[in-house]
């Protein structure tokens, strides 16, 4: 792979005006608006500019005492200026440059910040994750598998953690490696991998959905894990305890319809209990790179060293069109009917429509207002749950 780093924003933001680009960043940085809500707003209003205008009124209608206020344009401008200073790019959901597989997730990041060789996102990718306190044999296995998979044309994606992640990045440094990080692109974490992170920014690719300057917190890591899973054809797990972030990544990969691979280990080693359980649950037992390559070849017809164009069903989100979903006017009684059916346990939106007796558009409108008011939380799989009203 000989492609050079891509800098400036001209390619990454092709098709978006500067006004819409800033509006999309402001929208996703607004309190109470996550990736799923962002999609709902874009479906309804067609552009982030229109959605931003609508958010305060929608949140007030949902019962929020103080209407939700998106951050000012200057906040988004400062974020993009910081990204530009480090030579990074912002990729927007619905544009041709956004990774097609990642876009398939219900909760795909609306804005993905990148630093390095962005063209690596066009290659077929395999996620490799595992224990931070990895054994010597686990490290050697990670190095061997990542190197062999890289030589076969796959780009390695991992989370830049110590242990298996770091070993996988180093072994695929010359063939293509992507580090999905939980904080800002300019924040080295863990500190011991600062040099590796800087090297990947030069020869590989760093990706994050968090603004520059963000220090990673515990809640950021599962979100980071879904990016690894979403970018990849499948995820390989090498050593994982029963309760670990690696198993979260594997679960997210399976939920996204991606393949899960696991290296078996000794039942005497707690670090192998998670991987052995994955195998019992149907993950592909993996001892060599060929185990992965053969499985992917049977499902996808082989590895593409430079993946093709955006799938036809992932057309760009329109910028200057009306919303694709009508926004019906609903009254307090309809909103209360929807809210009363909710509980802290997630339920399917289709079930809400059926049980409420309301039109689907009315239910969706009520959920959007209630979510912006802080009373409802969305979950992948078109599910929602009730929150305490602030």
**Phi/psi at 19 (nearest 5 deg)?**
-65, -45
Residues 295 and 336 in one domain: no
Positive/negative CA dihedral, 272, 247, 99, 211: negative
Sheet strands (E) in the chain: 89-92, 111-116, 125-130, 155-158, 177-180, 205-208, 234-238, 259-262, 284-285, 347-348, 376-379, 383-386
DSSP state, 124?
A: -
Residues 6 or more apart whose Cβ sits within 8 Å of residue 297: 303
CATH code: domain of residue 277: 3.40.50.450
Residues 6 or more apart whose Cβ sits within 8 Å of residue 121: 99, 114, 178, 205, 231
Q: What residue has token string 């800002």? A: 184
Rounded-to-integer distance, Cα 128 and Cα 306, Å: 20
48 SS3 class: helix
Residue 254 token pair: 């399976």
Residues 227 and 376 in one domain: no
Whether residue 79 lies inside any domain: the answer is yes
pLDDT of residue 28: 98
Whether residue 66 lies inside any domain: the answer is yes
Whether residue 22 lies inside any domain: the answer is yes
Residue 378 token pair: 């969305």
Per the structure, the count of domains in the chain is: 3
Q: How many CA atoms lie within 13 A of 377 on its CB side?
A: 11
DSSP state, 237?
A: E
Residues 225 and 270 in one domain: yes
Residues 81 and 146 in one domain: no
Domain that holds residue 287: 116-300
Last residue of a domain, one of 69, 87, 105: 87
Last residue of a domain, one of 300, 318, 349: 300
Residues 138 and 75 in one domain: no
Whether residue 193 lies inside any domain: the answer is yes
121 SS3 class: helix
Rounded-to-integer distance, Cα 159 and Cα 182, Å: 8
pLDDT of residue 90: 97
CATH code: domain of residue 365: 1.10.10.10
Residues 6 or more apart whose Cβ sits within 8 Å of residue 349: 363, 364, 367, 382, 383, 384
Residues 207 and 283 in one domain: yes
Residues 205 and 262 in one domain: yes
337 SS3 class: helix
Whether residue 109 lies inside any domain: the answer is no
Rounded-to-integer distance, Cα 213 and Cα 211, Å: 6
pLDDT of residue 48: 96
Whether residue 345 lies inside any domain: the answer is yes
Cis check: omega of the bond before 86, within 30 degrees of 0:
no
Cα 246 from chain centroid? 15
Q: What is the pTM of this model?
A: 0.88
What's the full length of the chain, in residues?
Answer: 390
Residues 22 and 135 in one domain: no
pLDDT of residue 307: 39
Residues 267 and 340 in one domain: no
Residues 122 and 224 in one domain: yes
Positive/negative CA dihedral, 21, 22, 25, 26: negative
Last residue of a domain, one of 260, 279, 300: 300
Whether residue 72 lies inside any domain: the answer is yes
Residues 239 and 278 in one domain: yes
Whether residue 315 lies inside any domain: the answer is no
* Strands 347-348, 111-116: pairing kind: unpaired
Residues 38 and 148 in one domain: no
Q: How many CA atoms lie within 13 A of 173 on its CB side?
A: 15
Measured CA distances, 338 to 54, 332, 355, 367 (Å) = 21, 10, 9, 8
pLDDT tens per residue across all 390 residues of the chain: 434 333 334 434 557 899 999 999 999 999 999 999 999 999 999 999 999 999 999 999 999 989 999 999 999 999 999 999 999 999 999 999 999 999 999 999 999 999 999 999 999 999 999 999 999 999 999 999 999 999 999 999 999 999 999 999 999 999 999 999 999 999 999 999 999 999 999 999 999 999 999 999 999 999 999 999 999 999 999 999 988 889 999 999 999 999 999 999 998 899 999 999 999 999 999 999 999 999 998 887 766 543 333 333 333 444 444 445 556 778 899 999 999 999 999 999 999 999 999 999 899 999 999 999 999 998 888 899 998 654
């Amino acid at each position: 792979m000989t492609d050079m780093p891509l800098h400036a924003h001209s390619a990454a933001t092709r098709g978006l005006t500067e006004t819409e680009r800033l509006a999309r960043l402001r929208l996703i940085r607004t309190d109470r608006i996550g990736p799923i809500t962002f999609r709902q707003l874009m479906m309804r209003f067609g552009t982030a500019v229109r959605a931003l205008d609508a958010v305060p009124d929608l949140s007030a209608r949902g019962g929020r005492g103080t209407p939700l206020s998106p951050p000012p344009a200057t906040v988004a401008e400062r974020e993009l200026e910081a990204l530009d200073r480090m030579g990074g790019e912002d990729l927007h959901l619905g544009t041709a440059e956004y990774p097609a597989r990642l876009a398939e997730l219900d909760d795909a990041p609306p804005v993905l910040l990148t630093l390095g060789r962005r063209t690596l996102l066009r290659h077929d990718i395999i996620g490799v994750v595992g224990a931070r306190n990895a054994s010597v044999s686990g490290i050697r296995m990670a190095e061997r598998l990542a190197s062999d998979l890289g030589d076969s044309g796959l780009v390695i994606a991992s989370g830049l953690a110590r242990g298996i992640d770091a070993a996988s990045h180093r072994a695929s440094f010359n063939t293509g490696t992507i580090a999905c990080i939980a904080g800002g692109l300019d924040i080295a974490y863990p500190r011991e991998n600062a040099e590796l992170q800087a090297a990947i920014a030069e020869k590989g690719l760093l990706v994050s959905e968090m603004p520059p300057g963000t220090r990673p917190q515990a809640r950021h890591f599962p979100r980071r894990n879904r990016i690894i899973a979403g970018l990849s054809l499948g995820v390989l797990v090498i050593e994982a305890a029963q309760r670990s972030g690696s198993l979260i990544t594997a679960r997210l990969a399976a939920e996204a319809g991606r393949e899960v691979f696991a290296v078996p280990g000794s039942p005497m080693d707690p670090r192998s209990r998670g991987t052995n359980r994955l195998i019992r649950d149907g993950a592909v037992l993996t001892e060599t790179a060929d185990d992965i390559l053969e499985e992917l070849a049977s499902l996808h017809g082989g590895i593409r060293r430079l993946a093709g164009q955006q799938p036809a069903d992932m057309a760009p989100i329109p910028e200057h069109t009306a919303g694709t979903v009508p926004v019906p006017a609903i009254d307090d009684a309809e909103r209360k009917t929807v809210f009363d059916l909710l509980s802290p346990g997630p339920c399917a939106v289709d079930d809400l429509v059926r049980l409420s007796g309301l039109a689907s558009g009315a239910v969706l409108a009520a959920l959007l207002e209630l979510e912006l008011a802080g009373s409802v939380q969305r979950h992948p799989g078109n599910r929602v749950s009730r929150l305490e009203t602030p």
